[in-house]
A and B are shown apart, each in its own frame.
Chain A
């Protein structure tokens, strides 16, 4: 079983990561992009130097204990990025689709509520605003309690 979880300041190579996760019977994935439609020029992801990557590693390990997985990957980008850039990639591989799909959803849902990362938007006028968490994320993660 192959678990891969890391942060990167570089562009995420989605095709390479999906290749890497392999050719199990079922492969599921999620990609989050910087939105193109709300006036944000730059999105900056701040992370915790000691905690962020460890939290991602703990998450994939939790998924592997809960579902029968052959591989699980989380790549989260940090630093500045622009509209259309991939912020995060999650991919899971299992002999069966229920495990792959559920583990994939679990990983992104829990990432949004548990992993130390903070988004800051730079707008057209140069001003900055810190993104606030959504109550819908806190509600949705209860699915996996």
Chain B
């Protein structure tokens, strides 16, 4: 199991009910897409936040990531909606 810090923003944070948490991931969770799926299955909050993975964007240790980005060696993953600044 690998330990990872998860940070949530905007309506993802609201659905999850917390801005940050520490998780222990099974070895089967190896990519961003795996992580999103795992969170969606974990509890009702995750099911609500991650019902539609196409609406979720991710960053791994401060760098924008793709669904197939590997989690190995990561300390932190941020999960958030598509950006709306400017």
Contacts and interface: CB of A to CB of B under 8 A. Distances in A.
A50 B58 CA distance: 14
Contact of B81 (A47, A88, A114, A118): A118
A67 to B, nearest CB: 19
B85 A48 contact: no
A130 interface: yes
Contact of B84 (A48, A50, A108, A119): A119
B17 to A, nearest CB: 16
Q: Which among B7, B85, B86 has the highest number of chain A CB atoms within 10 Å?
A: B85
Interface in B41-85: 59, 62, 64, 78, 80-85
Contact of B83 (A54, A87, A116, A120): A116
Contacts of A124: none
A131 interface: yes
Shortest 8 CB-CB contacts between residues of A and residues of B = A117-B85, A118-B10, A112-B86, A133-B82, A111-B86, A119-B84, A131-B84, A130-B11
19 contacts: A46-B9, A46-B10, A47-B85, A48-B7, A48-B78, A51-B59, A51-B78, A76-B86, A112-B84, A112-B85, A112-B86, A114-B64, A115-B85, A117-B86, A119-B85, A120-B10, A130-B11, A130-B81, A132-B82
Interface of B: 7, 9-11, 59, 62, 64, 78, 80-86
